[in-house]
Chains A and B, each alone.
Chain A
Amino acid sequence: DVKVTQSSRYLVKRTGEKVFLECVQDMDHENMFWYRQDPGLGLRLIYFSYDVKMKEKGDIPEGYSVSREKKERFSLILESASTNQTSMYLCASRNLAGGRSYEQYFGPGTRLTVT
Chain B
Amino acid sequence: AQKITQTQPGMFVQEKEAVTLDCTYDTSDQSYGLFWYKQPSSGEMIFLIYQGSYDEQNATEGRYSLNFQKARKSANLVISASQLGDSAMYFCAMREANTGNQFYFGTGTSLTVIP
Number of A-B contacts (CB under 8 A): 52
Cβ of A40 within 8 Å of any chain B Cβ, yes or no, is yes
Cβ of B114 within 8 Å of any chain A Cβ, yes or no, is no
Q: Which of A40, A43, A56, A108 contacts B43 (CB 8 A)?
A: A108
Q: Which residues of B contact A (CB under 8 A)?
A: 4, 6, 9, 33, 35, 37, 42-45, 47, 50, 52, 91, 93, 95, 101-108
Q: Is the CB of A102 within 8 A of B50?
A: yes
The 9 nearest A-B residue pairs measured at CB: A106-B45, A43-B105, A42-B107, A109-B43, A42-B105, A102-B33, A108-B44, A31-B101, A103-B47
Q: Is the CB of B108 within 8 A of A42?
A: yes
The 0/1 profile, CB within 8 Å of B marked 1, for residues 71-110 of chain A is: 0000000000000000010101010000000111111110
Q: Is the CB of B107 within 8 A of A48?
A: no
A104 proximity list for chain B (CB < 8 A): 45, 47, 103
The complex places the Cα of A92 from the Cα of B91 at a distance, in Å, of 15
Interface SS of A by simple majority:
strand
Q: Is the CB of B44 within 8 A of A41?
A: no
Q: Which residues of A contact B (CB under 8 A)?
A: 31, 33, 35, 40-45, 48, 50, 56, 58, 88, 90, 92, 94, 102-109, 111
Q: Is the CB of B45 within 8 A of A103?
A: no
B42 proximity list for chain A (CB < 8 A): 108
The complex places the Cα of A92 from the Cα of B103 at a distance, in Å, of 11
User: Nearest-CB distance from B27 to chain A (Å)?
Assistant: 15
Q: A40-B9, A43-B105 known; 12 other A-B pairs, CB under 8 Å? A: A42-B4, A42-B105, A42-B107, A44-B105, A45-B104, A102-B35, A102-B52, A103-B47, A104-B45, A104-B103, A106-B37, A109-B43
User: Nearest-CB distance from B7 to chain A (Å)?
Assistant: 13
Residue from A48, A102, A103, A111 whose CB has the most chain B CB atoms within 10 Å:
A102
